[in-house]
Amino acid sequence: MGSLVFVVAEVHACVEGETANGLFNMLRALSADDRKRAALCLVDDVIDPNSLDQAFPDIRLYPIDTRIDQDGVSAGRQHPPAKAYSATHSHWRSAVVFRALAALDDKSAIDYVEFPDCGGLAFCTLQERNLRGFLDHATIAVRIGMSQTQLMGVEAHDTLIEHLHLSDLERKCLRDCDRIVTPLFPVAEATRRSFGIPEEEWGPRLVEHAPWVHAGTRPTAPRAVDASFDQTLVFPSILRRVNRPDLFARAVGGFLRTQQSYTGAIVFGTPGIEPAYQSGVERLIPIDCRARV
The DSSP-derived string for 59-78 is: -EEEEE-TTS---B-GGG-B
Please report the pLDDT score of residue 225 as a whole number. Answer: 74
User: pTM of the prediction?
Assistant: 0.78
Please report the pLDDT score of residue 15 as a whole number. Answer: 43
Cβ neighbours, 10 Å, residue 233: 17
Please report the pLDDT score of residue 219 as a whole number. Answer: 58
Q: What is the mean pLDDT of residues 161-179?
A: 93
Give the residue, 271 or 83, on which the prediction is more confident. 83
**Where residue 16 falls among pLDDT bands split at 50, 70, 90?**
very low
What gap in Å lies between CA 60 and CA 58, rounded to an integer? 6
| Cα–Cα separations (whole angstroms), residue 252 to 44, 223, 262 | 38, 25, 11
What gap in Å lies between CA 293 and CA 285, rounded to an integer? 8
Q: What is the mean pLDDT of residues 248-254?
A: 90
Give the pLDDT confidence of 28-56 residue by residue, as tens digits: 778 889 989 999 999 988 777 787 787 77
Please report the pLDDT score of residue 17 as a whole number. Answer: 47
For the chain, domains (ranges, CATH) are: 3-208 (3.40.50), 233-292 (no CATH)
Percent of the chain's residues with pLDDT above 90: 37
**Where residue 12 falls among pLDDT bands split at 50, 70, 90?**
low
Instruction: Examine the pLDDT at 140 and tell me if it is beyond 90.
Output: yes
**Where residue 14 falls among pLDDT bands split at 50, 70, 90?**
very low
Give the pLDDT confidence of 192-249 residue by residue, as tens digits: 998 999 999 999 999 998 766 655 555 556 677 788 888 888 888 778 787 888 899 9
What gap in Å lies between CA 284 and CA 188, rounded to an integer? 30
Please report the pLDDT score of residue 257 as a whole number. Answer: 86
